[in-house]
Amino acid sequence: MGLKARRGDLSGPVLAILVTLVLLAIGAAIIAYFVLLGASPQQPVVSILGTPVAYKVGADAYVNVTIVNVGATAVNVPKASVLLNATGTTVSLERASYGVTDDDRLVLEPGKTTTLVFKLSDSWSTIADRDFVNGVLTIEGVGSQVISIRVLRVT
């Protein structure tokens, strides 16, 4: 009762070749799925450029934060949706160097840069003796980022 190859049986090498071809086809299908269908979603992504700074104007502290849209679509939010929380106070965007429309929306196309300006009323005395202040920049519908704000003092 020995093992004898019968007519129509697959030999070991032929079976190994067939299994290898099937695995290659499955691998190619997985790669094609990720390359063709697994693309990243179209959304805005904001990145901070440089170091945000705070400076004194009267008793107020103004904070400048420069951002760039590195995403695939435009940031398009109401100006009141751009918030900075620093010194325990949350304030909305006062003005921007670029991208604020007539209807008070911040529109920042992919690749574009703008400097956001926030006014912290009567707050200079709380940060005047610090070198850095931590804060959170929030753009509703886009995301939040913890930032470290450099306090500038004129001597």
From 135, 137, 139, select the one nearest 148 (Cα to Cα): 135
- The domains of the chain are located at 10-39, 46-151
- List of the chain residues with pLDDT < 70: 1-8, 10, 38-41, 155
Q: What is the token pair recorded at 46?
A: 């904001």
Q: What is the pLDDT of residue 79?
A: 92
Average pLDDT along the chain = 89
Q: What is the pLDDT of residue 26?
A: 95
- Nearest-Å Rg of the Cα atoms of the chain is 29
| Residues 82, 52, 107: CA angle, nearest 5 degrees | 35
From 44, 104, 42, select the one nearest 79 (Cα to Cα): 104
Provide the CATH number for the domain formed by 46-151 in this structure: 2.60.40
